[in-house]
């Protein structure tokens, strides 16, 4: 079972312990494993990538017709 390194412990092995812990949900290139997402949020299939990001005010957001492939941030 993977675990986080122990503060003041794990001697010179803390890096290996941390890498083992992170490898449960991350690929070697640092991206999130599809299996980690689908099992954690209970969905099926692959995640849908976000292709657009919109940043605007609450007033501007209220006037929008949201799009499923856009991630919205209100400033």
> How much is the pTM?
0.46
pLDDT in tens, 4-62: 888 888 888 888 999 999 998 899 888 888 877 754 455 566 666 767 788 888 888 88
Same domain, 35 and 50: no
Q: Name which of 49, 56, 50, 51 is nearest 73 in CA terms.
A: 56
Same domain, 30 and 58: no
Domain holding 53, by residue range, is 45-75
Those residues with Cβ within 8 angstroms of residue 5's Cβ, 6 or more apart along the chain or in another chain: 14, 17, 18, 21
Question: Into how many domains does the chain fold?
Answer: 2
Same domain, 34 and 57: no
Same domain, 29 and 64: no
């Amino acid at each position: 079972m993977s675990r986080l390194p122990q503060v003041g412990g794990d001697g010179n092995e803390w890096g290996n312990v941390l890498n083992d812990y992170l490898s449960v949900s991350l690929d070697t290139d640092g991206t999130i494993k599809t299996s980690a997402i689908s099992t954690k949020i209970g969905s099926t299939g692959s995640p849908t990538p976000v292709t657009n990001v919109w940043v605007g005010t609450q007033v501007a957001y209220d006037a929008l017709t949201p799009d499923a492939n856009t991630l919205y941030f209100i400033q």
